[in-house]
Amino acid sequence: MTLTIEIKEEGRLDTLISQNCDFTRSYIKQLIEKDSVTVNGEIPKKSGQAVKSGDIVVIEVPQLVEKIEKKDIPIEILYEDDDIAVINKPQGLTVHPAGGNYTDTLVNALMFRLDSLSGINGEVRPGIVHRLDKDTSGVMVVAKNDAAHLSLSNQIAERSVVKEYVALLEGNLPEDSGKVVTNIGRSSRDRKLMAVVKEGREAITEYNVISRFAQNCFVKFRILTGRTHQIRVHAKYLNHPVVGDKAYGFKKQKFDLDGQLLHSYRLTITHPTTNARMTFTAPLPEYFIKVYNALANKEGLDDAQTVMERV
């Protein structure tokens, strides 16, 4: 299929394509090297070529080639129709094949469970419009065809998709609500991690404190951008990292957890075909509830179920 993008600002070709389509930079580079991309009708010489506002980029996107192994991995499907599927991703499940794990991911499970997936994001990421970290749980939407994928990608780029998370943080934020606006990019100390850096891409996170404990706070986050590890990086930036976060949190953890207490609770999209506004929620996982209720019982506060009714 053919995808046309009108460039709105100056910058690198591969970067601006990725911002508009949610393609990975490596996949964009492959498309450019295969002469599948033109800029104003001409084939670019390199993926980092400079483009300017008003340039027209046309991409010939190849159809999905099924090379991913289908695997019967249990996943909860919250909603499904001909265009989309909405998943409650469990903690510990990687979204797509990479880094030596090509069989035990959400994509492998989707290939087994669903009859079709979009191919616009390449062979190893069929259907994947947005991602959750391996140890972040919760709701995410999957595209079952390329038209749906483009619609959802455009909604994300236009910031009309509402992504809401809840997390338990170390300590107490001084304000009940606020907005964090920084740039996020690769950490100079560890390239596997992200950090607030001057040369990074803009990242915007809104937060509201839902409840407070003596040494923790339960917070709702809404992200207006989708940078890698965004909430975890911004929580660290606020000096109140997510409980259980082994990469960005405290070295000494109070709870025996397999990952961070960060959950994608609610997702609101416009349906690609009907244009209906739809909201999906994923309940807190049991391990999160267990920690929350232990704190609440100790301090005589409302339990997790009661609090989530107010989120």
Over residues 278-299, the pLDDT tens digits come to 999 999 999 999 999 999 999 9
What pLDDT score does 64 carry?
A: 46
So what's the pLDDT on residue 113? 93
Please tell me the predicted confidence (pLDDT) of residue 209.
98
Query: CATH 3.10.290.10: which residues of the chain?
Result: 2-60
Q: What CATH number is given for 2-60 in this structure?
A: 3.10.290.10
Nearest 10 degrees: CA dihedral of 75, 162, 142, 225? Answer: -110
The three-state secondary structure class of 231 is helix
- 144, pLDDT greater than 90: yes
Residue 16 has a pLDDT of 84
| pLDDT winner (highest mean) among 24-28, 203-207, 250-254 | 203-207
What is the arithmetic mean of pLDDT over 202-217? 97
Report in angstroms the alpha-carbon separations of 183 from 16, 38, 157, 160, 200.
16, 30, 17, 21, 5
Residue 145 has pLDDT above 70, yes or no: yes
Q: Tell me how far apart the alpha carbons of residues 99 and 193 are, in angstroms, rounded to a whole number.
A: 15
Q: How far apart are CA 128 and CA 110, in angstroms?
A: 10
Phi, psi of 152 (to 5 degrees): -65, -40
In whole angstroms, how far apart are CA 175 and each of 4, 121, 208, 238?
Answer: 44, 40, 9, 11
Separation CA 91–CA 257 (nearest Å): 11
Which is the catalytic residue, given 22, 83, 133, 146? 133
**pLDDT tens readout for residues 152-197:** 999 998 999 999 999 999 999 999 999 999 999 989 888 789 999 9
Spell out the CATH class of 76-157: alpha beta
- Residue type, position 112, single letter: F
C-alpha 104/C-alpha 136 separation (Å) is 16
| Per-residue pLDDT band at 126 (split at 50, 70, 90) | confident
Residue 169 is encoded by which pair of tokens? 């943080």
Give the lowest-confidence range in 12-21, 164-173, 199-208, 211-220: 12-21
Give the pLDDT score at 65: 41
pLDDT tens, 77-117? Answer: 999 999 999 999 999 999 988 766 778 999 999 999 998 99
Residue 33 in this model has a pLDDT that exceeds 90: no
pLDDT (0 to 100) of residue 80: 97
Q: How far apart are CA 142 and CA 86, in angstroms?
A: 6
CA distance 281 to 279: 7
Query: Rounded distance, CA 306 to CA 311, Å?
Result: 10
Name the strand (E) or helix (H) holding 220.
strand 216-223
Across residues 49-57, what is the average pLDDT? Answer: 90
- Percentage of the chain lying above the pLDDT 70 cut: 94
Mean pLDDT score of the chain: 91
CA distances to 22, 175, 186, 256 from 201, in Å: 14, 25, 10, 34
Residue ranges of the chain assigned to CATH 3.30.2350.10? 76-157, 162-308
Q: How far apart are CA 94 and CA 104, in angstroms?
A: 8
Residue 99's pLDDT is 62
| 105 DSSP assignment | B
As a whole number, mean pLDDT of residues 213-221 equals 98
Q: pLDDT confidence of 35, banded at 50, 70, 90?
A: confident
CA pair distance 199, 185, nearest whole angstrom: 7
Total residues found in the chain within this entry: 311
- What's the count of helices (H) and strands (E) in the chain, helices before strands? 7, 15
Tell whether the model's pLDDT for residue 63 goes beyond 70.
Answer: no
Average of per-residue pLDDT across 56-66: 69
Class in CATH terms, 162-308: alpha beta
**Who wins on pLDDT, 85 or 17?**
85
Q: Is the pLDDT of residue 41 over 60?
A: yes
* 3-state helix, strand and coil shares in percent for the chain, rounded to the nearest 5: 20, 30, 50
Strands 137-143 and 262-270, by their bridges, are parallel
Identify whether 72 is a catalytic site residue. no
pTM above 0.85, yes or no: no
Phi, psi of 295 (to 5 degrees): -70, -45
For the chain, state the CA radius of gyration.
20
pLDDT at 272 over 70: yes
